Structure 1
Amino acid sequence: MVTDYKRYFELAKMCKAVYGSPVRQDLLSYNGKKMSGQKIVHGSYGRGFCRLFWNDETLVLAFRGTRESIDWWVSNLKMFPVLLKNCEMNSKKIKVHRGFQRTLYYADKTTKLNSFDAVLKHINDLDLITNRKIVITGHSLGGALATLFSVKLRAKMPIVVAEQLHEVVLFGAPAVGLKRFKTFYEELNKKTIRIINGSDVVPFTPPLFYYHIGQELWIRKNEIKDNKSWLLRLFYALKLPMKNFINDHDMKSYMANLKELEKK
């Protein structure tokens, strides 16, 4: 697997940026080219939900992770599986995490649409798809939302996804669906990279019956290991200080370790 640490660092920087107030888009880049515009989509409670960044070559959709305690109650802890909705007809028996899917349908305070449709409205109104590659990314809860958004976007715009979706890059993301969801994810598995930093606890969740999608890159001791088992990562993590489970989940830690890998 060819690993572009610089590009992953650029996306990690965007994922960190979506947690805070608007930043100058020209401080962010993809493949070395600065972003020229941005748009914030708000979820419930007036919180930033997703941010669109773009230049004349690429549109990046960056989903925000858990920031406030309310996120745990309305999203993360509602892990009972429910049917995947608003996808292809053959998705009728596919089950996903209730809280993650529900978050995609909170009301956007600006457009009054649900958050998923609000993202699509901004993309269309700003004509952000024409002649651009599409990149979808997110950290933590944002990684789960990026995963679900990808399959729902495929159902809504199959040709656009087939021809223009360049990659889905997830940082410290939990699993989203049961076994059939991974199969349903189909060709998106080849375009999806899950980056896991050290002992990060979130990729171990939910602990039962849920399956990860895509290809895994595990950062361990400033090295990258491909597609290692869940149990191997857990065995490694349990031998280290318990604080690493939390510290390794921080976006600053992801960025620092990707930066070190970039130097090698």
Structure 2
Amino acid sequence: MALSTMIHTHLPQALSGGGMNRISAVYVHQGVASDTKLNRGARRLAESLTTLLNLNIEPLCSRKNLQYSNWDSFDDEKHNTPTTSPKEMIADKWRELHGSSDWEKLLDPLHPWLRREIVKYGEFAQATYDAFDFDSFSEYCGSCRYNRNKLFEKLGLSKNGYKVTKYIYAMSAIEMPQWLETSRLMDTWSKDSNWMGYVAVSDDEETRRIGRRDIVVAWRGTVAPSEWYEDFQRNLEPIGIGDAKVEHGFLSIYTSKNEFTRYNKSSASEQVMKEVTKLVQFYQGQGEEVSLTITGHSLGGALALLNAYEAAVNFPGLAVSVVSFGAPRVGNSAFRAELDDLGVKTLRVVVKQDLVPRMPGIVFNESLQRFDDITGTLEWVYTHVGAELKLDVSSSSYLKRGFNPLGFHSLETYLHLVDGYLSAESAFRSSARRDVTLVNKACDMLVDELRIPQCWYQLANKGLVRNEHGRWVKPRREPEDIPSPTGEQAHDLSLRIEMQESYTCCMQAKNLAIC
């Protein structure tokens, strides 16, 4: 059997244990327990393919790098310290940190200021998972659980100094993978769309610290590693007017729309560009320096590149950068060349053991470019772009060894490794501050000695609450958190808005009277 046939036919079952259905594959990012045990034959296949891919994964029983002999002391050593490093004033260095020199001499060793910025953008990407309604029994499945004014407050991200200005929705019915299907219920908030991310902008205080007004776009990714193998070599199709080509499925998610839908009368592309245009024009009109930073994990990293390409075409001279995590290849070498010509700066954070950054183009990728003299330019070859920060699971004594594709690909695993990274030759830094417990949000990657439950991030009682009669029911959302309130809900929401506006006017009048 040919290698490509073997990968395409058998590896999805190997990675998913042969029993992971599509909806549970989506859940792996969300802390919903799913069966990921591999049967003996599938494990042998997976280990063989791991060897072929040269992932160098250590045996499950290996504990060579453990630093702690008494894990009971972990609470005292880590739990009583802040989870973030102090913020530095980086106003005079923002262009270098934004990639003006392609992060030369900043990645190895990793500059502490850059580390903190990478974690910040990674947390913005993680927010798209933490706030997403994955409950397939919910009438709001596929939406964000909070309105944009509460998103960062609910997720503890207000400290970052940004404000969400716009939500982005993508089609779930046109050219969309089944893992983006919405609800099991027919009566749902939207049969056609899913919440896909958001646009945010730095507030005045953060703007002074970082030296410019920073517009952020965060894209959600939901794909599990097994699903990259189900469709590991999709067709490339043209983008723009040159020879640049990108993967068909990614472009479809970014550009699909339907005038008969509620949320995707305009595409995700049109939604995000309309908001970015408004913000860029407003802040540049105020005489401010403006940057655009686009982030995403997995599929979100692919969408981030497409977004960056479009933004750079529409805003010549705007500082555009991408910080992606575990992102797949998106296009061919001509696409990479166009991004370079447009001045887009891309920093790809990858984990050596993660399979997704090797997709698509597991065989036909940028490594063939060394044979240009023989093959010529291959328009159908997938190519990564930008600078790479490569991390290694084995560097952290907190993480289990063994074959764990879901854990390797988890964004929280990535952020843990970034926080502990010093250089390619250094051990995991002992002064790393980010809460280690976060790693097990949606997977089982922490060593058992830490006694942290796997997949612990979920709503209490799976979201059920007791009503006034003592019965367990699904709670009603607050009107302001409903994606599209109608009828009585809309009326309640308008009353709340009127009351809030009246209160604001009264307070302003009171302050003026005092003045």
Using the size of structure 2 for normalisation, the TM-score is: 0.41
- Matched with 1:63 is 219
Would you say the 8 A contact 1:58–1:133 is kept in 2?
A: yes
- Matched with 1:149 is 307
Cα distance in 2 for residues equivalent to 1:99 and 1:47: 16
**1:33 Cα deviation from its structure 2 partner:** 4.4
- Matched with 2:318 is 163
Cα distance in 2 for residues equivalent to 1:25 and 1:12: 14
Q: Does 1:252 align with 2:412?
A: yes
Task: Specify every segment of 5 or more residues in structure 1 that has no aligned partner in the other structure, as ranges.
Answer: 224-239
Partner residue of 1:193 out of 347, 366, 378: 347
- Matched with 2:237 is 82
Q: Does 1:242 align with 2:395?
A: no
- Per-residue CA distance 1:87-116 (angstroms, 9 max, x = gap): 3x4x2x222111111111122843611211
**SS of equivalent to 1:196:** strand
Would you say the 8 A contact 2:308–2:344 is kept in 1?
A: no
- Matched with 1:54 is 201
> Where do residues 70-149 of structure 1 align in structure 2 (5 Å cutoff)?
79-84=234-239, 87=240, 89=241, 91=242, 93-107=243-257, 109-110=262-263, 112-125=265-278, 130=284, 131=288, 132-149=290-307
Amino acid aligned to 2:301: G
Would you say the 8 A contact 1:78–1:99 is kept in 2?
A: no
- Matched with 2:382 is 210
Amino acid aligned to 1:173: A
Would you say the 8 A contact 2:326–2:348 is kept in 1?
A: yes
Amino acid aligned to 1:15: A
**SS of equivalent to 1:150:** helix
**SS of equivalent to 1:185:** helix
Q: Does 1:43 align with 2:170?
A: yes
Q: Does 1:28 align with 2:157?
A: yes
Percent identity of paired positions between Structure 1 and Structure 2: 24
Cα distance in 2 for residues equivalent to 1:213 and 1:128: 31
**1:35 Cα deviation from its structure 2 partner:** 1.0
Cα distance in 1 for residues equivalent to 2:386 and 2:353: 19
- Matched with 2:117 is 7
Task: Specify every segment of 5 or more residues in structure 2 that has no aligned partner in the other structure, as ranges.
Answer: 1-104, 133-143, 173-192, 204-212, 365-380, 422-428, 433-515
- In the superposition, relative to structure 1, how do residues 42 and 68 fare at CA in structure 2: closer, same or farther (>3 Å)? farther
**1:251 Cα deviation from its structure 2 partner:** 1.0
**SS of equivalent to 1:212:** coil
**1:18 Cα deviation from its structure 2 partner:** 1.1
Would you say the 8 A contact 1:123–1:129 is kept in 2?
A: no
**1:17 Cα deviation from its structure 2 partner:** 0.6
- In the superposition, relative to structure 1, how do residues 67 and 81 fare at CA in structure 2: closer, same or farther (>3 Å)? closer
The number of residues matched between the two structures is 233
**SS of equivalent to 1:43:** strand
- Matched with 1:231 is none
Would you say the 8 A contact 1:179–1:211 is kept in 2?
A: yes
Amino acid aligned to 2:355: V
**1:24 Cα deviation from its structure 2 partner:** 3.1
**1:39 Cα deviation from its structure 2 partner:** 1.9
* Deviant stretches of 4+, over 4 Å: 75-78, 125-129, 187-190
Select the structure of larger CA radius of gyration: 2
Cα distance in 2 for residues equivalent to 1:98 and 1:43: 15
- Matched with 2:126 is 16
**SS of equivalent to 1:66:** coil
Would you say the 8 A contact 2:236–2:331 is kept in 1?
A: yes
Amino acid aligned to 2:323: V
- Per-residue CA distance 1:203-249 (angstroms, 9 max, x = gap): 000112211000110012449xxxxxxxxxxxxxxxx7332x33111
RMSD: 2.9
Using the size of structure 1 for normalisation, the TM-score is: 0.77
- Per-residue CA distance 1:148-177 (angstroms, 9 max, x = gap): 11112122222xxx2332x21010000111
- Per-residue CA distance 1:105-157 (angstroms, 9 max, x = gap): 12284361121111122234456653332111111011111111111212222
Cα distance in 2 for residues equivalent to 1:203 and 1:148: 16
Cα distance in 1 for residues equivalent to 2:350 and 2:282: 30
Would you say the 8 A contact 2:328–2:356 is kept in 1?
A: yes
**1:182 Cα deviation from its structure 2 partner:** 1.7
Would you say the 8 A contact 1:9–1:258 is kept in 2?
A: yes
Q: Which moved more, 1:56-65 or 1:214-223?
A: 214-223
